[in-house]
Structure 1
């Protein structure tokens, strides 16, 4: 960190050790209120969120889609300009190797897809034809369309909003101008100095923290149910709340310790191990599984994704069933929007010394391509086994039982029970890598700089694990309700991201001028 940043954003102590008290009050207040209301009337909370979820998807769905489209095309266009040669964070060389850097980027958000959707979503779109296509479900003609629809949900648009334009704005504001590394800084060019010091800025930060908590507690809680279910099916271990608590405690311990040790120790070590394990599993699937089918399906699926890119990206409730848009395209796009400000903080931090072009290409191009390969290996294998009759997942997927789908596909893969166990281990570490990086990011928001107290990181990691434990005691339905809530929080968060469409390029050119790259 530069001296100017240290002066502008002093370390906090005493009563403010956990960060901005308003952010803390609103964020913890949300957790307490959600849990308290759930204890009071579970159905009231679930039904209220479901109603708000449906309304948000219907009214704001098209806006979310346009925001992601604009972000992707402006960011990729910026990558071709001379300004993209500017380096991030006032460093001449990167702090970590390219492999470590890419590993952290991939693992931080792929947890959601890697854990819950990579195996089941392509199979779902294979047995239920997406609205953008007219192929007959369950036929060879439906394979490429199913993969392409999955690529659309986890592809270029989704990743670009996480760490391109918003990360550029934050990197310039913090490392060059000495402004706090907080979501409110994204609105500084619009609302001015009062925003950085006043209560409105705290409310903006709190909205982003709440969205992140809603999106992260879900994978943490669902992982406990998935691993508990998997260990019961594979090894006959007891399945129930006690086992889920043990899994949560182990998971929480891993990601809390990782977060406390910092980016250059636990976070990058865990991410690097996870990527190496994923590469090993992927190689085994590709070499010993339906190799030719997977290779052909990936090429056809990627071709369909590119050729039908705008058709899928602009499908709306007028051209598709409301329920489909709510639970697929809008849900995923809103989920990424909810994550975006704090992910941008994290991406800006780990990309110091990289050029703007490298950061955009890594996040908006390389990460989605790697994601599409992973979805093809797991989901494409699932489609192959479904097509050949080796497995039958239609009923489970129509009931959105993705834990059943993941385990069923895993057991059908080469290695059987041991491959299934390896995938359970991989998914556990995937979620841990999200838990540690997001605990770090929330602590950064409270501190306003990129070196928050390890104890604050631990506080947020433990808080999310405890929230997952309490909600699991009420049933997986409350975890699902919390995940739906992130779609509602995407409304204010999207407004925070909107100015980055023009401030991102402005910040890039400002950095390039400061570094003498352009005049």
Structure 2
């Protein structure tokens, strides 16, 4: 199949350049939210809280089912002979390490540091309601705490972000569809979605969701790094310092996204991964590698054993809304734009390679990372109760990281490393999502550098303004992504049913299906000229 992304003819496509309707409405909605949060913060906060509560109540179980179904279908699909089908050229555009590094760093963001330290500790102190017989603070509570964190950050999160939706996006792009969120509706509307108002609405909704989910971590980063600098070096924890952190982050992300995927984005991701590996090794050596290994095996065992039950648990609606549904809604909001980014960097990969390298290997690596950081925190808490939980309860997420690092040898060096890693994680998420948002706002094959830089700066500026009113504005924006996940969940749904059909068609076209091989007398399709849907159906 060709790696060129050809466009379906239509008024929007012939005009070329930016789609100013999508760009203007998306940026305008962000502006309205920021202005409203500053002018009437209590009103906006109340609206978001109500929207969050209703979204979690009405759609929470649907999201849980959708994410579980996505993972199961992806896993089964990877095991079929069809999964040998390849997207695009025979040679992948990026090496495996560069490719997986870009994927992992885009999802983890700052949560890869702060939540990895804090969430297991919360569940260790207050056992999740699914495990009614677990005594908080016990050894079994440590395994349960890690297992619950794995549910939120493990297989289901990665599957919704990197498997079936990316397959639909790549398949449709090879047939002339643009790399935009609307293309996820291609299985339902066909090529009409390119010029349909429904496609425009889909683009806007998905952009707003991912912008909300990215601006939140940027602002959160400014608050948390400022806290870290204050605790380490006595630098005043004031708005000026927070603003400086966001300015540096935005500048790094803007330069990275302007330089493109082949340069800045992949380079920043590689540096990020190496730094994360170095810090993980440092924590293991300076802490207790044996304890972490036992915690990982025990937690992963509970995760696998109770996988379905924990993923679909609804026994305590308030707890589920605040934890599982919140994370699932957040990741779901990222799904369409992540599908665009993964489709852009995954040409030349097979279907099996794509699924295994997004929905299997990264989640296992994420669980190991949570075990290293969160498991070490639990170990320190067991040795000296209150050592980690005290700062966490008093000052929130960043305090857990600082407390863990502070209890290890070379504490200052490790603490600075974690602060730097957090900045790098958020920077890689910002540049990747700026690229995907810009691509969603253009009808060209590739978004221009100005459009990419514009969105990086807009998200940084929005975060800088929101933190001026405290963390309430940032928290409201992060909760707002759960509201936007309601329509996004409907946009992603067709991928569950369409991806297997598309993969089967690819396999038949490429002569890879062991269950139905094209007749020898048939003329094989050219790998650089994909068949139309009608031709594929007739050929199959």
Alpha-carbon spacing, 1:400–1:509, altered in 2? closer, same or farther (3 Å): farther
1:472 to 2:471 alignment: no
Look up the match of 1:100. Answer: 98
Alpha-carbon spacing, 1:353–1:238, altered in 2? closer, same or farther (3 Å): same
Residues in 2 aligned to 1:339 and 1:396: alpha-carbon distance in whole angstroms: 31
Look up the match of 1:136. Answer: 135
SS in 1 for 2:139: coil
Alpha-carbon spacing, 1:16–1:93, altered in 2? closer, same or farther (3 Å): closer
Note if contact 2:177-2:191 (Cα within 8 Å) is conserved in structure 1.
Answer: no
**Bigger Rg over Cα:** 2
Alpha-carbon spacing, 1:111–1:59, altered in 2? closer, same or farther (3 Å): same
1:67-466 matches, cutoff 5 A: 67-88=66-87, 90-133=88-131, 134-174=133-173, 176-316=174-314, 319-320=315-316, 322-389=317-384, 391-394=386-389, 397=392, 401-448=396-443, 450-466=445-461
Residues in 2 aligned to 1:489 and 1:389: alpha-carbon distance in whole angstroms: 42
Residues in 1 aligned to 2:56 and 2:243: alpha-carbon distance in whole angstroms: 33
Shift of 1:362: 0.8
Note if contact 2:106-2:432 (Cα within 8 Å) is conserved in structure 1.
Answer: yes
Note if contact 2:71-2:359 (Cα within 8 Å) is conserved in structure 1.
Answer: yes
Shift of 1:141: 2.1
Note if contact 1:184-1:204 (Cα within 8 Å) is conserved in structure 2.
Answer: yes
Shift of 1:440: 0.4
| Unmatched segments (≥5 aa) in structure 1 | none
Alpha-carbon spacing, 1:450–1:170, altered in 2? closer, same or farther (3 Å): same
Tell me the number of residue pairs that the alignment of Structure 1 and Structure 2 aligns: 513
Residues in 2 aligned to 1:236 and 1:11: alpha-carbon distance in whole angstroms: 59
Residues in 2 aligned to 1:452 and 1:229: alpha-carbon distance in whole angstroms: 36
Note if contact 2:13-2:443 (Cα within 8 Å) is conserved in structure 1.
Answer: no
Alpha-carbon spacing, 1:449–1:347, altered in 2? closer, same or farther (3 Å): farther
1:5 to 2:5 alignment: yes
Note if contact 2:392-2:398 (Cα within 8 Å) is conserved in structure 1.
Answer: no
Shift of 1:451: 2.1
Alpha-carbon spacing, 1:3–1:295, altered in 2? closer, same or farther (3 Å): closer
Alpha-carbon spacing, 1:72–1:400, altered in 2? closer, same or farther (3 Å): farther
Look up the match of 1:483. Answer: 478
TM-score by length of 2: 0.92
Residues in 1 aligned to 2:43 and 2:90: alpha-carbon distance in whole angstroms: 54
Give the root-mean-square deviation of aligned CA atoms.
2.0
Residues in 1 aligned to 2:9 and 2:38: alpha-carbon distance in whole angstroms: 40
Alpha-carbon spacing, 1:183–1:418, altered in 2? closer, same or farther (3 Å): same
Residues in 1 aligned to 2:21 and 2:250: alpha-carbon distance in whole angstroms: 26
| Unmatched segments (≥5 aa) in structure 2 | 518-540
SS in 2 for 1:95: coil
SS in 2 for 1:192: helix
Residues in 1 aligned to 2:351 and 2:151: alpha-carbon distance in whole angstroms: 24
Shift of 1:4: 6.3
Note if contact 2:341-2:432 (Cα within 8 Å) is conserved in structure 1.
Answer: yes
Residues in 1 aligned to 2:171 and 2:257: alpha-carbon distance in whole angstroms: 25
Deviations 1:353-386 (A, max 9, x none): 1111011001111010010011011100100111
SS in 2 for 1:238: coil
Residues in 1 aligned to 2:118 and 2:5: alpha-carbon distance in whole angstroms: 46
Alpha-carbon spacing, 1:452–1:112, altered in 2? closer, same or farther (3 Å): same
Residues in 2 aligned to 1:130 and 1:76: alpha-carbon distance in whole angstroms: 27
Further displaced range: 150-159 or 445-454: 445-454
Note if contact 1:381-1:413 (Cα within 8 Å) is conserved in structure 2.
Answer: no
Residues in 1 aligned to 2:12 and 2:432: alpha-carbon distance in whole angstroms: 21
Alpha-carbon spacing, 1:476–1:164, altered in 2? closer, same or farther (3 Å): same
Deviations 1:387-413 (A, max 9, x none): 111753435545781121222122223
Residues in 1 aligned to 2:77 and 2:443: alpha-carbon distance in whole angstroms: 27
Residues in 1 aligned to 2:3 and 2:358: alpha-carbon distance in whole angstroms: 29
Further displaced range: 329-338 or 107-116: 107-116
Shift of 1:191: 2.2
Residues in 2 aligned to 1:16 and 1:472: alpha-carbon distance in whole angstroms: 37
1:483-502 matches, cutoff 5 A: 483-502=478-497
Residues in 1 aligned to 2:271 and 2:409: alpha-carbon distance in whole angstroms: 22
TM-score by length of 1: 0.95
Alpha-carbon spacing, 1:311–1:400, altered in 2? closer, same or farther (3 Å): farther
